[in-house]
A and B are shown apart, each in its own frame.
Chain A
Amino acid sequence: MKHLIPEFEKLRERFPTGFESSLVLPCVRRIQEDRGYVADTDIVELAQYLGIPQIQIEEVLSFYTMFRRKPIGRWHLQFCHNVSCSMNGAENILAHVERRLGIKPGETTPDGRFTLSHAECLGSCGTAPMMMVNQAYHENLTPATVDALLEELK
């Protein structure tokens, strides 16, 4: 984590004084972008850097769905299975991808290329069904567009 401290210093300048605790979410997010997950050492170092209790960071990591403490596949496919996506065929698309990759939500392909997850409504209901691939939204999915996309993701 330590090599990110110059970035964190810049971030800190944008917040009012006394807002150190607020830096937990943005710093954790940046650490995860950098390493792929948040390691135990990151927690210790970030707590020290911000002067906040380690337990706060651990709670944040376990509370929010976007944070993780273990590595996952290179491409994280997150399928929305909320109301509007379900009403527009999300289940079929997901079943198609499960067959193609041979994994279920919560699993990673043995080559470490894909991790599959469910997600709740991602604010894309008008362009359902949809999934997130890492941070990007892919909308109006069909089996054909999903197939083409999976080919591209090496």
Chain B
Amino acid sequence: MAGRQLLMTFPVTATSHSLAEYLARGGYVALAKTLREMKPQDVVKEVAASGLQGRGGASFEVGRKWQVVQYDDGHPHYLIANADEGEPGTFKDRWILENNPHVLLESMLIASYALNVRNCFVYIRGEFDLPYRRLAGAVEEAYAAGYFGRNVLGTDFACDIVVYRGAGAYVAGEASGLIASLEGKKSYPRNRPPRLTVRGLYQQPTVVNNVESLSNVAGIVLHGAAAFRTVGTAKSPGTRLISISGHINRPGVYEVECGYPWMKFLEEDCGGVPGARPIKCVVPGGVSSKVLTGAEIKELVLSHEALWDAGSTMGSGGMIVIAEGTCMVSLLQVILRFYHHESCGQCTPCRHGTGWMHRIIDRIVAGGGMPDDIDRLYYVSKFNDGTTICGLGDAAGYACTGILDKFRDEFEYYIEHKRSKYGGSLECLKSS
């Protein structure tokens, strides 16, 4: 176990997602406590005091986002759980949706009470099948038990929920793109300000939080912010769900206490790299985060501050381990193809930039790379940075420069010799 756990606290069985078992684990006690003992402002204060940071990618403090919402401004407010989970390498929200959907629902009820929300939504990626069925089943159970609807638990509090299915667009995971999608339109992100907490869904104040961020709320309210802060580090309270894949013996979802040593996690918890190959680099938190080399991560712990100091981020918790012998040129090709495919096309730098980068990397892989192509990739990456509406354009550039900064020689080799230094392979056979 990678430190203390707050979310993966029970053995997963064929029925552990059910309401009955959630109740047996102490479920919906936090909701009862909230409705009976706490004022809405107390809940917001407690969540702010916990220092809980967003788990969707940007690590923005949840409480600070909530504090923007004016409880009594006379507008309807909306709350949306972001279950789009599209960042390549990320599959951790799926664990909550499949195995503990009620902790999300209970937390959303508490958040709705705190933020004066009558209608809340879960936006779940369109391809998810089992996670959707588990979540939809939990919603039915929760309605039947009186947790949603009017007079929740016999109080004046009323709340309804809709599970909304996406339709296949990475950019719909971006909060404003998500809102456009939930309004039944193509998911074009929009410029801020105004912030979504001021003008969001149908122009009303809206809070969008990641599934895992929200799922921490029930525990924070039940045990208090101080208890939450005893877990993790001062600057990264709590735990992170990390989905790990790539060249690793035991891929899967792990709950890691912030501050846990990175190499210990990889070697002891995840069983190390197949064939005990050295680690070439790691994608820390989804392909939009900059890679860190095996040497760079040696002494690091897993915390927001440690990764920021190292020039990267915990991002979405989607960790990909890349073993020595992997061709970084081919890897970057996959990543740049992805961004090009997913750009919504609204902003010129992103629309053209991702296409341009994709064509350059394709040309390099095909053996037609030019000596100044590396500089060209840097140029386009820098041009995207900060000039686009949403983070996708920036992310394409970060992912690209992150790899070029550390593995430039491989690109030079490929361009000069018209072939990969490592046979072009991304695979690291488990048996080797």
Contacts and interface: CB of A to CB of B under 8 A. Distances in A.
B251 A125 contact: yes
A90 to B, nearest CB: 9
A109 interface: no
A25 B164 CA distance: 9
B167 A67 contact: yes
Given A65-B169, A123-B90, A123-B94, A56 B342 contact: no
Contacts, number: 146
B202 A126 contact: no
Contacts of B183: 21-22
A83 B88 contact: yes
A83 B326 CA distance: 12
B126 A126 contact: no
Given A59-B185, A64-B126, A125-B320, A15 B251 contact: no
Contacts of A56: 184-185
A106 interface: no
A86 B327 CA distance: 12
Interface string A122-146: 1111111000100111000000000
A73 to B, nearest CB: 18
Contacts of A86: 330-331, 334, 426-427
Measured as residues with beta carbon below 8 angstroms from the partner, the interface class of chain B is 35 or more
Contacts of A95: none
Nearest to A128: B245
A82 B185 contact: no
B344 to A, nearest CB: 8
Interface in B262-276: none
Contacts of A123: 85-86, 90-91, 94, 125, 127-128
A63 B126 CA distance: 13
Contact of A22 (B127, B182, B247, B320): B182
Contact of A14 (B76, B162, B322, B427): B162
Interface of A is mostly: mixed
A25 B326 CA distance: 40
Contacts of A87: 245-247, 320, 322, 326, 426-428
A66 B129 contact: no
B77 to A, nearest CB: 12
B129 A136 contact: yes
A64 B167 contact: yes
B252 A65 contact: no
Contact of A26 (B130, B164, B187): B164
Contacts of B338: 82, 120-121
Given A121-B88, A122-B127, A83 B165 contact: no
B147 interface: no
Contacts of B118: 16
B186 interface: yes
A87 B424 CA distance: 11
Contacts of B170: 120
B129 A25 contact: no
Nearest to B339: A120
A18 interface: yes
26 contacts: A16-B76, A16-B160, A19-B202, A24-B185, A28-B167, A60-B186, A66-B126, A66-B167, A67-B167, A82-B88, A82-B334, A83-B287, A83-B320, A86-B330, A87-B320, A88-B245, A120-B88, A120-B170, A120-B341, A121-B89, A125-B243, A125-B246, A126-B91, A126-B243, A135-B127, A137-B130
Interface of B: 76, 85-91, 94, 118-119, 125-130, 160, 162, 164-170, 181-187, 202, 243-247, 251-253, 283, 287, 318, 320, 322, 326, 330-331, 334-335, 338, 341-342, 344, 426-428
